[in-house]
A and B are shown apart, each in its own frame.
Chain A
Amino acid sequence: MTVKHNSVSLRARRQPNLPIWLRAWNVVVMALLILPVLIVIPMSFSDARNFSFPPKGFSLRWYENFFTSAKWTDSLFTSLQVGILTAVLATVLGTLAAVSIARMSPKFSGFLSGLYMAPMIVPGVIFAVAIYAVFLRWQLVGSLFGFVAAHTMLALPFVITSVSSSLSGYNPGLTTAASSLGAGPVRAFLTVTLPLILPGVVSGFVLAFVTSFDESVVSLFLQTPNLETLPVNMYNAIATEIDPTVSAAATLVILVTTILVVLVQVVPGRNKRK
């Protein structure tokens, strides 16, 4: 960990004279990524009854509608609930998986970490159909646990990746040292390993939450009128009627995920600067 602090070599590696066309290209890519957001946010403040861009007039009526309609607030609450439970479950399972992968011989760990990436690679619809088929039989469709279980599967790769990258900078000798000083395996993990890989665990937690909070494909299959997440509700609101409240909901989703992701960027940074 201490090696990374060599600021001299970092400075030497930075290129001060980036060609102008490279800078310009960056602006294009950034615009491509951010433009949809820049359209949806102004739309949410529109006064019109339809999706019109540029927005006509200014009002907070769609936000008012969002927070006063039980359907919207219920789905928001469901999404937060599913998101937090998913994040907790995926973080615990993913961290333990990453720790065990790190201890295995390269032969097994390579195979396993490939396998754990499957939910990221398998197309969402295929995954959703498979989940739906199994959950129907197990009567998990439309249940909170069903949502949490499915989202946890999708979120696990993010936790495992982020904890694994933290673990790659962890010296397993420290666990040996802790054991020689009288700490059993669990105590050694909690007092030495966990604090040192915490940045990876925290960012895994946030990524897991965001994965669940944004997820729509699997949730569409698992929804029932009684239990639907925010993205599902947004989809229904567009598919069945034209409800501009969707743009307000979208803006809120963007706000929540942006704040969280920025936090993740900042937290490990603060740790490194010490």
Chain B
Amino acid sequence: MQKLEHEQAITVSNVTMQYPSSTALALNDVSLEIQPGEFMSFLGPSGSGKTTLLSLIAGFVNPSSGTVSIGGNQIDGLKPHRRDLGVVFQNYLLFPHMSVFDNVAYPLRQRKMDKSQIREKVTRALALVRLDPYADRLPKELSGGQQQRVAFARAIVFDPRALLMDEPLGALDKNLRSEMQRELARIHRELGMTFVFVTHDQEEALVLSDRIAVFNDGRIEQIGTPEDLYYRPSSLFVGRFLGDSNVFSGKIDVETSTFISPAGSAYLTREELEKTDANVMIVRPEAISIAPKTDTNTDGFEAAVREIVFTGSNVTVYMEFGDGTPGIAKLTMSEASKLAVGQAVTVSWDQLRQHLIHDDGLTS
């Protein structure tokens, strides 16, 4: 499959969705634009609206208000079979009465292609997902991972305008999952097709995506690159959802150029001082350094080590700060070797790796 040239941006404008069976809004005034060729993930807890938005783009449900357009053309009201979008479903939904070949040929037959062209395209799609020897098998004769690949081949074989995936790796075990993640990344590179990927797995989203939209309670909390979201979350929800973090609530003290929290005070950069409404500081566990407490370094954050957990590639240290705030640090083996449970320590980090946000839920 050659790189596609006819790709178009998907634009979602002010979409609100209310299912008849529920009073809550599944989506509340959501807008976003997905660029051609982009790998975009919708990330969020279950019930946050990410799958609803995917279904809206695919045309399986219609929005209560708002519009969806592709390449500038509004597609609201267009039936799914006229949208020309590939969809990979969570449970694959392969046609059980058709061979792998016929499953993948299905969208081409709907488009009335001639036989030789179908054979050529199906063969290429199966080669792309490395299933060429299985063309004559029935879906139930394949493993879960193989079925997943067939579903994938079937969804891209007709060169759709974009590929929509609803937690496609959710049913696979951990090893297969990371293998399929690499496959997905490779295929995205090779095809250059727009991928929209729904997941509740933050690690998966961080690994795969060009950009991630974080969903919470029917709204998009933040859209950005994985680095943006991880190091510069716009809200406490995003910060907490994407990996572990140390969360200090407090306020900025301009006179001393510090952020004062019950757990300790941290110096701020000049830009940070301008975020006057900030009331939370987030520090990722990788940024943390821990030193045994001595009498000379009295300022900074003091904590007690509560637990030391060996996780293979590194060591996770759980702490408790003086005011009871929980803390977490990821250290190398050699850094952690000096520490013991119960020990009093001084915690510090590079100023550039702290992040200030404003959170409405906190009133301190």
Contacts and interface: CB of A to CB of B under 8 A. Distances in A.
Interface of A: 1-2, 5, 171, 173-174, 176-184, 187-188, 191-192, 195-196, 274
Interface string B87-122: 101010101110000000011001100000000000
A200 B69 CA distance: 42
A178 B87 CA distance: 10
Contact of B91 (A5, A173, A196, A274): A173
A171 B95 CA distance: 10
Interface stretch (B77-85, B203-211, B262-270, B343-351): B77-85
Contact of B85 (A176, A180, A184, A195): A180
B85 A2 contact: no
Contacts of B85: 180
B236 interface: no
Interface string B192-226: 00000000000000000000000000000000000
B186 interface: no
Nearest to A175: B93
Most chain A beta carbons < 10 A, residue from B79, B81, B86, B107: B81
B21 to A, nearest CB: 9
B140 interface: yes
Contacts of B155: 180-181
A108 to B, nearest CB: 14
Given A1-B96, A174-B95, A192-B95, A182 B89 contact: no
Which 7 pairs, one residue from A and one from B, show the smallest C-beta to C-beta distance?
A182-B110, A181-B107, A177-B93, A180-B87, A179-B80, A2-B140, A179-B81
7 contacts: A177-B95, A179-B60, A180-B81, A181-B106, A182-B84, A187-B110, A191-B106
A176 B138 CA distance: 20
Given A171-B93, A182-B111, A176 B140 contact: no
A36 B182 CA distance: 70
Contacts of B106: 178, 181, 183, 191
A173 B93 contact: yes
Contacts of A178: 81, 95, 106
Contact of A196 (B80, B96, B140): B96
A195 B87 contact: no
The B interface is mostly helix, strand or loop, or mixed, namely loop
Interface residues of B, number: 25
A225 to B, nearest CB: 49
B79 A184 contact: yes
Contacts of B89: 173, 176-177
Contacts of A177: 87, 89, 93, 95
A1 B94 CA distance: 12
B86 A180 contact: yes
B330 interface: no
B42 interface: no
A244 B46 CA distance: 74
B81 A183 contact: yes
Contacts of A171: 93
B161 to A, nearest CB: 12
B155 to A, nearest CB: 8
Contacts of B60: 176, 179-180
A195 B84 CA distance: 25
A188 B111 CA distance: 13
B158 interface: yes
B58 interface: yes
Given A2-B140, A177-B87, A187-B110, A182 B93 contact: no
Most chain B beta carbons < 10 A, residue from A176, A181, A274: A181
A188 B95 CA distance: 11
Interface in B37-65: 58, 60
A174 B107 CA distance: 13
A159 B319 CA distance: 68
A78 B111 CA distance: 45
Contact of B58 (A5, A180, A192): A180
B154 interface: yes
Given A178-B106, A179-B80, A181-B107, A195 B97 contact: yes
Interface string B158-193: 100000000000000000000000000000000000
